Amino acid sequence: MFYQTKFRSITLIAALIFLASYASFGSYFAREIVVEIIILAILAISLDLCAGFGGMVSLCHGAIMGVAAYAFAIMSAKLGWPLFPSALIGLLAAVVVSGLVGWVTARTNGIFFIMATLAFGQMAYTFFFKSRWLGGDDGMGGISRFDLSAIGLEMNNSLTFTYLGLGVLLLAYGLTAMVMRSGFGRTLSGIHVNEDRMKALGVNTAAHRAKAMAFSGFIAGLAGLIAAQHTLYISPELLIWTTSGEALIVVILGGLGTLVGPVIGAILLVLMKHEISDYTDYWHAFIGLVLIFTVLAGGRGVFGQIEYWLNSLRSRHHDPDNHQTAGKPQGGDHA
Amino acid sequence: MDLSFWILQFLNAMQYSMLLFLLSIGLTVIFGLLHFVNLAHASLYMMGAYIGISVAALTGSFWAAFFLAPVIVTLIGAMLYFTLIDRMRTAGPMNQVLVTFGLIFIFLDLVRMGWGDIALGLDGPQSLSGTTRFLGVDYPAYRLFIIALGLGVMTTMWFILSRTQIGAMIRASVENTDMAAAMGINVSTLFFLVFCFGCALAGLAGVAAAPILSATTTMGITILIPTLIVVVIGGLGSLEGAIAGSIIIGFMETFGAVMIPSFSAVLTYVLLAVVLIWRPQGLIPARG
């Protein structure tokens, strides 16, 4: 179950302040990195909602993000719709696709769920890859950014765009945290821990999981909109399964089922990638080693591990009998 | 399009199916027995191709590469088994996917460090260089050799699994590991042997594919998805499933590309989705 603890709030605010100052004091290139972090963090939050709380390890979240980006680009660049309605269509497309995938796969578990989402994701990827109308593997351009000059924001300024992106990240986090704290989120965690018991309580677990996927698709869609607006160009690369794999790495690196963890994980992964690629071409191997180490070290992730230490420290202080159950990462044991 | 065109396509489909079979059989038996999802299986296939190229360059003989590459890949697999695979067996599918995803990254960079980013070719054996007249068409002898190799492995596997004692032990362990252990089968040794055998087949597939496809750093990740689809469609852990799955996918991709080029790539995923919804245990599931 999710609790918005003080430690989580502080970490999140610190992370946002770090990103904002990194963008404001850094060069244009630093802002590019921050936007990359924002996109990956939102996608990872969306995946954490499914994998961390619902136990649904999805390998199609990159594809859902890409569907939103493509739907937005098709409406605005191909059909000439205004930008805001196009963005809404983009989000709607992500919600519908994600909900459908969730509905169809609601009865599969474990490795079968992973494979099924992989299949649906690759199906979408192949569709856009092969579609001549949408530029195929060359991708499509002609996308424009929102015109917010009415409220005095110049979106083509990279700093303004980055700040706005941080705002969307905060929004995505806030929405997800709110939903996870509601009865809906509690029920989802309940299904993850013991689906039969939730069924016995009268919950339509399949429908609930599908709804969770649909909501998660909405969050992933936000990432897709930023991705499309950021480079003003989209390609099928967004949808390929390794994008989803990268999001999964971010979630596990930061801390599964913590929502703050994915933000921390995204910062770590992107910065590592850029720092290491300055020295060597072989950053993939490094990420692979970090990933294996994270899983072998207990799979709590960087943020999750720190939280675990803090919690066991605190409970040893207050209640010496109860310290072994404290700080158990939500959902991490059943994934 | 006359008959010879279709025979040609049939042989192409057979050859692709056999390649998929060599990879998927290892993956599926490892899953059936160890309940381990090894995404890095395709990386071992890639290692097989590159190691084969190096061995062939050193010895000047394709056959030396053909026999040595699987052995070396098996040694790599055994190393993986003792460092990672064995302790990840009970860690749940998500952790297994993550760890083997990490292995894919590591193998990718190992190959780039060792052999570079350029695609490398491997010359097939001299004796199989030309074309042969087969079923009324001229077909490359080496590709016929791959078909024969796949059919040979298939028959051997079938024989081992259904007619020998070790086969009975494997089947018993797939069905119920605890009971098999209680009956005196050394399950952990069996796990290790089966894992090594799967790695050897992956290496064999790699070195066998190198003369046709040439070795690239993306070859593992390219074949991984069709292989996983074969395994899931056929039914995790089952030999018959892997046979049926590889033939279905091999023929669907080959004939799909000829007959409905714009739709063929999506077709496989549609099939997988349909199977997962209607028969999540696969077409011919292993018992247990």
Mutating which of B28, B39, B104, B109 best tests the A interface, going by the most A Cβ atoms within 10 A?
A: B109
Asked whether residue B97 is domain-assigned, the answer is yes
Taking the C-alpha atoms of residue A283 and residue A3, their distance in angstroms, rounded to an integer, is 35
Q: Flag if A242 and B221 touch (Cβ within 8 Å).
A: yes
Instruction: Looking at the complex, report in whole angstroms how far the Cα of residue B109 sits from the nearest Cα belonging to chain A.
Output: 6
Smallest CA-to-CA distance from A204 within A114, A99, A106 is with: A106
Distance from CA of A26 to the nearest CA of B (A): 30
Domain that holds residue B105: 18-217
Question: How many Cβ atoms sit within 10 Å of the Cβ of residue B233?
Answer: 27
Q: How close is the nearest chain B Cα to the Cα of A127, in Å?
A: 7
Q: Do B91 and A295 touch (CB under 8 A)?
A: yes
SS (H, E, C) B83-125: HHHHHHCCCCHHHHHHHHHHHHHHHHHHHHHHHCCCCECCCCC
Q: Residue A241: closest CA among chain B residues belongs to which residue?
A: B225
DSSP string of A85-119?
HHHHHHHHHHHHHHHHHHHHTTT--HHHHHHHHHH
Q: Which residue of chain A has the CA closest to B110?
A: A285
- A8 Ramachandran zone, left/alpha/beta (phi>0; psi -120 to 50): alpha
A296 and B99: CB-CB below 8 Å? yes
Residue A328: its pLDDT value, please? Answer: 46
Nearest CB to A123; choose among B99, B269, B280: B269
Q: Which residues of B touch A105 (CB under 8 A)?
A: 276
Residues of chain B with pLDDT under 50: none
Residue A278 has pLDDT above 90, yes or no: no
B264 lies in a domain? no
* Record: contact B276-A282, CB cut-off 8 A: no
Residues 6 or more apart whose CB falls under 8 angstroms from that of A131 comprise: none
Min Cα separation B276/chain A (Å): 7
Virtual torsion, Cα A205, A207, A210, A215, nearest 10 deg: -100
> Is the model's pLDDT at A126 over the cut of 90?
no
Percent of chain A with pLDDT over 70: 95
CB contact under 8 A, A284 and B91: no
Structure token digits, residue B94: 């998500």
Please give the pLDDT value at position A334.
42
**Tens digits of per-residue pLDDT, A300-321?**
889 999 999 998 888 877 655 5
DSSP B16-46: HHHHHHHHHHHHHHHHHHH----TTHHHHHH
Structure confidence at residue B1 (pLDDT): 61
Residues on chain A touching B236 (C-beta within 8 angstroms): 111
Q: What is the value of ipTM here, to two decimals?
A: 0.85
Give residue A19's region: left, alpha or beta (phi > 0; psi -120 to 50): alpha
A239-270 burial, b at 16+ Cβ within 10 Å, e below that, comes to: bbbebbbbbbbbbbbbbbbbbbbbbbbbbbbb
Paired residues of B134 in beta bridges:
B137
Contacts of B260 in chain A (CB under 8 A): none
- Tell me which amino acid residue B142 is: Y
**Does A129 lie at the interface with B, CB-CB under 8 angstroms?**
yes
Residue A131: phi, psi to the nearest 5?
-75, 110
A130-143: average pLDDT = 83
What is the pLDDT confidence band of residue A114, given thresholds at 50, 70 and 90?
confident
Give the phi and the psi of residue A328 in degrees, each rounded to 5. -70, 125
Position A321 scores a pLDDT of: 52
> Are B92 and A256 contacting, i.e. CB atoms less than 8 angstroms apart?
no
Is the per-residue pLDDT at A324 higher than 60?
A: no
| Number of domains chain B contains | 1
Q: Is the pLDDT of residue A332 over 70?
A: no
A242 vs B contacts (CB less than 8 Å):
221
Asked whether the beta carbons of B268 and B226 are under 8 A apart, the reply is: yes
Chain pair A-B, CB pairs under 8 angstroms: 112
Counts for chain B of helices (H) and strands (E), in that order? 12, 2
Within an 8 Å CB–CB cutoff, is residue A86 touching chain B? no
> In angstroms, what separates the C-alpha of A121 from chain B's closest C-alpha?
9
The chain A residue lying nearest B40, using CA atoms, is: A288
B181 within some domain:
yes
- Whether B189 is covered by a domain: the verdict is yes
Any B CB within 8 A of A137 CB: no
User: What is the separation, in whole angstroms, between the first and last Cα of chain A?
Assistant: 14
B71-100 tens-digit pLDDT:
999 999 999 999 988 888 888 888 888 899
By a Cβ cutoff of 8 Å, what residues of chain B touch chain A?
Answer: 31, 37, 84, 87-88, 91-95, 97-99, 101-106, 108-110, 112-113, 221, 225, 228-229, 232, 236, 262, 265-266, 269-270, 272-273, 276-277, 280
Q: Do A288 and B103 touch (CB under 8 A)?
A: yes
- CA dihedral for B130, B133, B137, B143, sign (positive or negative): negative
Closest CA to B195 of B206, B185, B203: B203
pLDDT digits (tens, 9 = 90+) for B126-173: 888 888 888 888 888 899 999 999 999 999 999 998 899 999 998 888
